[in-house]
């Protein structure tokens, strides 16, 4: 085993050393990471492109030469992000899309519009997300589930043919190490009543994103559409400062910068061998275990995938409305 692998494994054992900028710095140097591959002539779409990691993904993709579509829920904020990225990169092949991903019916309509407007899509980064302070429902779906699970499902399914037209189309679900705390639990994901815990709901949704990546990877050949979930590491973003203020204040000196947090997604977008990792949970450019605690281990991973896909297909059909054909 190489020294880089030995040190990586030791880091992996210590969450603090691994998830902070310390882990990033050590792995990058020991692994002699190359700069992410150029994306000239490629087309990319990033959700939540207005802030934090999403802004870093979009800026990174534009800097690498991709025609980049920015999706956000507030037109003024997305236009401002566009202006900043054009100024920083000189790439003005940037298009703005507006939609609140917490609203399933609106997302279903937006997904159809995007599929009509983008015939070829090389990279799709599902980054939008947050920890909800309280339960909020839109079209009968809880907002964390709607934004980070159903919206990626609707958008990816609608854009499947565009992704397949750019073989291999590459899809990233920006999950979180927070998912290690929760098992896959569809019954709890679907629950709309009773006490609400925003942090645990977020962790369950992130766990489900990992299951979703695996399910798509089983359905779609990696050479046609390759899907991964990833952990960006603990990253200094407005979202982290807002949702976990004490954690943020305590760890701020060692948090990753947004560019460091975005590294693995940008690497996956262009690296030649990366599509073969379809179905993996990536962190710092490598597939990682999806389990750290015995109590989160599933007895039926295949069954989890099937149940999740069935549930999401039902929600997607509801969001699309009567008479719409959902592929």
Ligand X SMILES: NC(=O)c1ccc[n+]([C@@H]2O[C@H](COP(=O)([O-])OP(=O)(O)OC[C@H]3O[C@@H](n4cnc5c(N)ncnc54)[C@H](OP(=O)(O)O)[C@@H]3O)[C@@H](O)[C@H]2O)c1
Q: Given the rule CB under 6 A, which of 85-93, 182-190, 234-242, 273-281 is the region that contacts ligand X?
A: 234-242
Q: Given the rule CB under 6 A, which of 20-28, 36-44, 123-131, 306-314 is the region that contacts ligand X?
A: 123-131
Return the residue of 239, 265, 270, 275 that touches ligand X, per CB under 6 A: 239
Peptide bond into 168 cis (omega under 30): yes
CB count in 10 Å sphere of residue 321: 12
How many residues are given for the chain? 327
Return the residue of 27, 42, 69, 73 that touches ligand X, per CB under 6 A: 73
Restricting to residues 140-169, name those near ligand X by CB under 6 A. 147
Restricting to residues 101-120, name those near ligand X by CB under 6 A. 101-102
Helix boundaries (H) for 31-74: 52-63
> What is the smallest separation between the CB atom of 1 and ligand X, expressed in angstroms?
28
Residue from 57, 153, 180, 202 carrying the catalytic annotation:
202
> What is the smallest separation between the CB atom of 317 and ligand X, expressed in angstroms?
21
Alpha carbons 73 and 50: distance in angstroms, whole number: 9
Is 202 a known active-site residue?
yes
Contacts of 293 (CB under 8 A, 6+ apart): 180, 181
Return the residue of 48, 104, 152, 168 that touches ligand X, per CB under 6 A: 48
Distances (CA, A) of 131 to 52, 96, 135, 202, 253: 14, 25, 10, 6, 22
> What is the smallest separation between the CB atom of 126 and ligand X, expressed in angstroms?
8
Cα 248 off chain centre by: 21
Q: Tell me: does residue 290 bind ligand X (CB under 6 A).
A: no
Q: Tell me: does residue 238 bind ligand X (CB under 6 A).
A: yes
Q: Given the rule CB under 6 A, which of 4-12, 87-95, 121-129, 212-220 is the region that contacts ligand X?
A: 121-129
Element holding 226 (H helix, E strand)? strand 225-230
Whose Cβ is closer to ligand X: residue 166's or residue 179's?
179
Alpha carbons 100 and 290: distance in angstroms, whole number: 30
| x-marked contacts with ligand X along 180-219 as a string, rule CB under 6 A | ----------------------------------------
Alpha carbons 253 and 248: distance in angstroms, whole number: 9
3-state secondary structure of 299: coil
Q: Tell me: does residue 23 bind ligand X (CB under 6 A).
A: no
Q: Tell me: does residue 77 bind ligand X (CB under 6 A).
A: yes
- Contact criterion met (CB below 8 Å) for 57 and 125: yes
Q: Tell me: does residue 283 bind ligand X (CB under 6 A).
A: no
CB count in 10 Å sphere of residue 35: 10
Q: Which residues are catalytic?
A: 202
Residues binding ligand X (CB under 6 A): 48, 50-54, 72-74, 77, 100-102, 127-130, 147, 174, 176, 232, 234-235, 237-240
């Amino acid at each position: 085993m190489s020294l880089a692998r030995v040190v990586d494994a030791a880091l992996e054992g210590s969450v603090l050393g691994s998830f902070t900028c310390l882990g990033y710095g050590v792995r990058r140097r020991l692994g002699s990471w190359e700069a992410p591959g150029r994306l000239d002539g490629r087309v990319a779409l990033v959700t939540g492109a207005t802030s934090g990691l999403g802004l870093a993904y979009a800026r990174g993709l534009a800097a690498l030469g991709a025609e980049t579509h920015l999706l956000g829920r507030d037109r003024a904020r997305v236009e401002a992000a566009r202006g900043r990225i054009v100024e920083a990169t000189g790439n003005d092949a940037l298009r703005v899309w507006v939609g609140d991903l917490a609203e399933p019916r609106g997302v279903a309509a937006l997904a159809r519009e995007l599929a009509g407007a983008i015939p070829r899509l090389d990279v799709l980064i599902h980054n939008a997300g947050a920890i909800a302070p309280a339960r909020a429902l839109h079209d009968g779906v809880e907002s964390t589930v709607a934004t980070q699970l159903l919206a990626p499902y609707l958008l990816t399914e609608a854009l499947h043919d565009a992704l397949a037209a750019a073989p291999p189309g590459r899809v990233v679900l920006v999950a979180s190490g927070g998912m290690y705390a929760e098992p896959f639990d569809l019954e709890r994901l679907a629950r709309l009543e009773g006490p609400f815990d925003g942090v645990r709901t977020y962790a369950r949704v992130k766990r489900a994103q990992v299951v979703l990546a695996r399910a798509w990877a089983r359905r779609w050949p990696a050479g046609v559409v390759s899907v991964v979930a990833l952990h960006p590491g603990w990253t200094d973003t407005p979202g982290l400062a807002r949702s976990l203020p004490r954690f943020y204040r305590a760890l701020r000196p060692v948090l990753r910068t947004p560019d460091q947090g975005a590294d693995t997604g940008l690497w996956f977008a262009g690296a030649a061998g990366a599509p073969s990792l379809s179905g993996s949970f990536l962190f710092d450019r490598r597939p990682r275990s999806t389990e750290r605690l015995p109590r989160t281990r599933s007895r039926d991973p295949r069954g989890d995938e099937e149940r999740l896909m069935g549930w999401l297909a039902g929600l997607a059909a509801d969001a699309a409305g009567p008479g719409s054909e959902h592929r």
